Chain A
Amino acid sequence: AQRVTQPEKLLSVFKGAPVELKCNYSYSGSPELFWYVQYSRQRLQLLLRHISRESIKGFTADLNKGETSFHLKKPFAQEEDSAMYYCALKGAETSGSRLTFGEGTQLTVNP
């Protein structure tokens, strides 16, 4: 079974402060991990995936297989980062490439 846990439903930081959104997963094989973002009244969109190892909008995430974590980080949060963030996992063995989502973290960046 595959599971994704995001322990914080709500996270509030001030503009310019560092932010870390936590994600832990449970999967017996080799997972692919993703972060999706949903801005207010918009659709879910891919923010980044662990395989690409890129930084998008200043966000980075490193897959830590030892701790089974894929935390999302940004050194200096901006007000436009306020959104709902979902961590998602795709198991390598699933034929249909289903995504398993975490509960989501609502990030609010205050001015």
Chain B
Amino acid sequence: EPEVTQTPSHQVTQMGQEVILRCVPISNHLYFYWYRQILGQKVEFLVSFYNNEISEKSEIFDDQFSVERPDGSNFTLKIRSTKLEDSAMYFCASRTDNYEQYFGPGTRLTVT
């Protein structure tokens, strides 16, 4: 069964550095999402992406964040200048026209 994949599984970066988290959604999916989960807290929506543009974003998704679908397969989340509070598990998800969002295994981002 096809799955959403994410790389790397764990990323350690220094405060102020740029980081790019990568996702490969399921191939025939049209809608893409990023969520994050700070340790001990709930999963929070960051952004949704459809037809090569952002369709919705949360208040968390400020100017430090950007998303891109640079080719037909990858979907990336970039954080321009990481802060300590960006440390979290970041989940990518994708779906077709139906309701179910399929989640990737997550990337653990640690900002030191």
Contacts and interface: CB of A to CB of B under 8 A. Distances in A.
The 4 closest A-B pairs by CB, nearest first: A96-B56, A96-B48, A96-B55, A44-B103
B106 interface: yes
A43 B58 contact: no
Contacts, number: 58
Given A43-B104, A44-B103, 20 more contacts: A43-B105, A43-B106, A44-B91, A49-B100, A51-B99, A90-B99, A94-B56, A95-B55, A96-B33, A96-B47, A96-B50, A96-B55, A96-B56, A98-B45, A99-B35, A101-B42, A101-B44, A102-B42, A103-B41, A103-B42
Contact of B100 (A46, A103, A104): A46
Interface in A10-63: 32, 36, 42-46, 49, 51
Interface in B83-108: 91, 95, 99-106
Main SS of the interface on chain B? strand
A94 to B, nearest CB: 6
B101 A49 contact: no
A21 to B, nearest CB: 15
A101 B58 CA distance: 13
B75 interface: no
A50 B111 CA distance: 38
Interface residues of A, number: 22
B82 to A, nearest CB: 23
B77 to A, nearest CB: 15
Interface of A: 32, 36, 42-46, 49, 51, 86, 90, 94-104
Contacts of B42: 86, 101-104
A45 B58 contact: no
Contacts of B45: 98-100
